[in-house]
Structure 1
Amino acid sequence: MVPALRYLSGACGWPRGRFPGSFPGTCGPASGRPRLLCGGGRQASTSSFDVVIVGGGIVGLASARALVLKHPALSIGVVEKEKDLAIHQTGHNSGVIHSGIYYKPESLKAKLCVEGSSLIYEYCNLKGIPYKQCGKLIVAVEQEEIPRLQALYERGLQNGVKGLRLIQQKDIKKKEPYCRGLMAIDCPYTGIVDYRKIALSFAQDFQEAGGSILKDFEVKDIEMAKESPSASKDGMKYPIVVRSTKGKEIQCRYVVTCAGLYSDRISELSGCNPDPRIVPFRGDYLLLKPEKGYLVKGNIYPVPDARFPFLGIHFTPRMDGSIWLGPNAVLAFKREGYRPFDFSARDFMEVVINSGFIKLVFQNFSYGVNEMYKACFLSETVKDLQKFIPEITINDIVRGPAGVRAQALDRDGNLIDDFVFDGGVGDIGNRVLHVRNAPSPAATSSLAISRMIEDEVQQRFKL
């Protein structure tokens, strides 16, 4: 069993001792204007499939693509609750192609990230999707950070990250002339890309291979079809009914869910335990004004501190030429709450009452208060930025976009850092695979994740 894999057992989990598997419309050519298709070889009115994937983000689309390429004779559909694809976590992330340096050696996250980044570069080259391999510096600005930096370098070597080297002040200046630092890890294999373009390309591959995409289909129920003496032949062949909030129904043999911010709620539809809960954390970015873009060439990251749950503020160039600064990490009061005052009573009450969030707050009280303070007062964020680039002033930045991270949290307030998969109870549990947690860097790892999902679906469902 892979050590990094976490899965649930008991009422809604996989049998202990068995590796449970791999993982928690508009689409068109990446180089052209997206086009809306629902079909490939099947029509939009199709109401029955061999396999249905719930979720049109990058993990769901990569998995659908892998399944249809491996099993071209099967009818496979993707359902997405929005009117477009990949607009939430996939469309609101930093766009970094991560190298895999941060993760525990031999862990699933490390393996998938290193493999996944290589596959993403290959895929972009094959499809002509633009990217920049601009590299990253992880910079120690204080003497006390150097031992942690050296330990991180050793971890990266163990993970097989390409091209790593420790550099001193002189070489830091060669790569980032305006960056101050005592020592840094040079990660030349880190890059940037528009992950939504990749996701739409996955969708195009999927449809061209015969898959169907049904948008504006928000899943309300997943249940076994009710048998009766008058049950149709199709009803027996496709025993699962997937029903939308608008009353639409499709039938299928098997379901794979990749529901991101709603993965816990979707899992409960087949009888799974509600834990771990998804707690939404909003990450607000600042933008460096265009006239100051010369200050940053590649990614500049701090040395991570294991005492705190998130990475800290960093400098991220984007494919459009802009420079993002951030993000912070604050509780979002709505699962898709990209603005500070977005609020959902249901989402908020679930976090406060049913998750381990309050325990997380007490465990990281000073960190949380500091993040909230910096979110309100930009001058405090600028002080963090100036540790790396002293020339930046408050007049050089403006507030930018935000993303929401689907963070799985257990009842003890621990952030779930592994992949979590579930099935359910009864007959339906043998026909469903839930991806309950696909933590960052899921976008970088999406092609590697999809291979593991395809393998598990094949083994589990005997396709």
Structure 2
Amino acid sequence: MAAGGGQKARGTRASRIARAGFTRAGFDCDVLVIGGGIVGLSTAYALTRAAPGTRVVVLEKEPGPARHQTGRNSGVIHSGIYYRPGSLKARYATAGSAETAKFCAEHGIAHRISGKLIVATRRDELPRLHALVQRGRENGIPVRELGPAQISEYEPRVRGLAAIRVSTTGVCDFTAVARRLAEAAGAAGASVRYGAEVTAVDRRAWGVAVRTAAGETVRARALVNCAGLYADRVALLAGDDPGMRIVPFRGKYYELARPELVRGLVYPVPDPAFPFLGVHLTRSVDGSVHVGPNAVPAAAREGYTWSAVRPAELAATLAWPGSWRIAARHWRYGAGELRRSLSKHAFATAVRRLLPAVTDADLRPAAAGVRAQAVLRDGTLVDDFLIRRAPRTVHVLNAPSPAATASLPIGREVAGRALAVLAEDEGNVVRAGAP
């Protein structure tokens, strides 16, 4: 009797394994990641490290990685000083800044930890500057308070009433970081496919099937949405109401014709009512100095110029109630940003608050960027990372700055949630095979 019971138990276990193996074999991959920006590639990288053998596919519509938000920013490794203690931004940025520098050093990627100044140029900014000092200390970030003379020691051409120096801020080449993440994930078995635009998502109880514009179908046990500027669209394709929409904001940049005017990174005191840091000066790893960005609504999700208009995307933005509520609430701020976007003189005037020596002629046009800003129906600008779970799916719906800095810890977080989906799936298979 005992022998018979053991044989039955072994038979049941074998059937469970067979069921699990058959289920896995019926898919092209275990985890399908949509989006080949730095967050999507970091997620793929984290999956291959946390669970070797997990079959991972990344679909990216562009011919290469990091073609949008990742590759169109000022390249700053943020310290985390701005972010509310305990928030995902604060946690990910403080961990990510050190990890990003280490990753760059290990993989020979250009980077520099130069520190930055946050400068108050008006008396009404002093209380906000002091609040940043406190916030930095709460987040465990070394902060030094400076007077006017001490500002000149770090930045001889910068003028201000007071400043704080954040020594852990730096710069790097985030496109190179994304490329290396893709290479490392690929070397570990992941498949990163470029030129693969997702047009349909069919999610069923058994898994997820995604169709691309080329007609390819990829079947997966779990889906991760890291589509950035199109994150809400992918969520809707999957049948989920994300409760937000991406409203694109274009950021205009200039390059400083006289880069010797700035040694490192110089920022204004940000307005806490907005998730934008204001026009700042950034000495990049190649020695050039970027000035910007400002923030104005774009007429396309990839609207890097004024002439870039996609009527369907613009109509969708205007149809979202939150867009109109932003406009009603912040029209004064928006008018100033619009003026600076249209007028180089107005832009230069804003820069001269920090760097009086700058002339209009010192500003040379540089490539613009577009920020994927998640906006709620009531007009709230989502300020923190927004990661939501749905059946067989993990949606990264808002990954604002400092997403590039924090990409390694974010990737681990998202990968962990995707692996939890797989674990639940395997548990269901075992339960289904139970006598």
TM-score, normalization: structure 1?
A: 0.84
Separation in 2, partners of 1:287, 1:252: 44
Partner of 1:272: 240
In the TM superposition, what is the alpha-carbon distance from 1:328 to its structure 2 partner? 0.9
SS in structure 2 at match of 1:264: helix
Corresponding letter in the other structure for 1:373: R
Please point out which of 300, 303, 308 is paired with 2:269.
303
How many residues of Structure 1 are paired with residues of Structure 2 in the alignment? 399
| 2:399 is the alignment partner of 1:438 | yes
Which residue of 203, 218, 222 maps to 2:201? 222
Inter-partner Cα distance in structure 1 for 2:378 and 2:362: 41
2:160 is matched with which residue: 169, 178, 181?
A: 181
The equivalent of 2:4 in structure 1 is: none
Q: Tell me the secondary structure at the aligned position of residue 52 of structure 1.
A: strand
Show structure 2 runs of 5+ residues with no match: 1-25, 427-435
Alignment partner, residue 208 of structure 2: 240
The equivalences for 1:266-345 within 5 A come to 266-289=234-257, 292-345=258-311
**Which of structures 1 and 2 has the bigger CA Rg?**
2
Aligned counterpart, 1:230: none
Over residues 206-254 of structure 1, what are the superposed CA-to-partner deviations in whole Å (9 max), with x where a residue is unaligned?
011111111111111121469xxxxxxxxx7xx4211112211111211
> Which residue number in structure 2 is paired with residue 5 of structure 1?
none
- Identical columns (%): 42
What one-letter code is carried by the residue in structure 1 that aligns with 2:67? I
Is 1:277–1:355's contact at 8 Å kept on the other side of the alignment? no
| Shift, 1:341, TM fit | 1.2
Shift of 1:196: 0.5
Q: Which residue of 2 aligns with 1:164?
A: 143
Following superposition, which runs of at least 4 residues in structure 1 exceed 3 angstroms of deviation? none
| Corresponding residue number in structure 1 for 2:89 | 109
Residue matched to 1:448: 409
Give the match for residue 386 of structure 1. 352
> Are 2:225 and 1:257 equivalent residues in the alignment?
yes
Residue 48 of structure 1: CA displacement? 0.8
Matched, 1:460 2:426: no
> Does residue 204 of structure 1 match 2:193?
no
User: Does 2:333 correspond to 1:367?
Assistant: yes
Q: Show the 5 A alignment for 1:389-400.
A: 389-400=355-366
| Correspondence for 1:192 among 153, 171, 192 | 171
Amino acid at match of 2:83: Y
In 2, Cα distance between equivalents of 1:165 and 1:327: 26
1:423 positional shift? 4.1
Name structure 1 gaps, 5 residues minimum: 1-45, 227-235
* Contact persistence 2:31–2:418 (CA under 8 A): no
Q: Is the 8 A contact 1:287 1:397 kept in 2?
A: yes
- 1:136 and 2:116 equivalent? yes
Q: Distance in 2 between matches of 1:355 and 1:241?
A: 32
Aligned to 1:9: none
RMSD: 1.6
Structure whose residues are more often helix by fraction: 2
Query: TM-score, normalization: structure 2?
Result: 0.89
Aligned counterparts of 2:249 and 2:274: Cα–Cα separation in 1: 14
User: Does the CA-based 8 Å contact 1:65-1:203 persist in structure 2?
Assistant: yes
In structure 2, distance between residues paired with 1:182 and 1:224: 57
- Counterpart of 2:160, as a letter, is G
Measured after TM superposition, the shift of residue 274 of structure 1 is 4.7
Residues 39-58 of structure 1 mapped to structure 2, 5 A cutoff:
48-58=28-38
User: Which letter does structure 2 place at the counterpart of 1:180?
Assistant: R
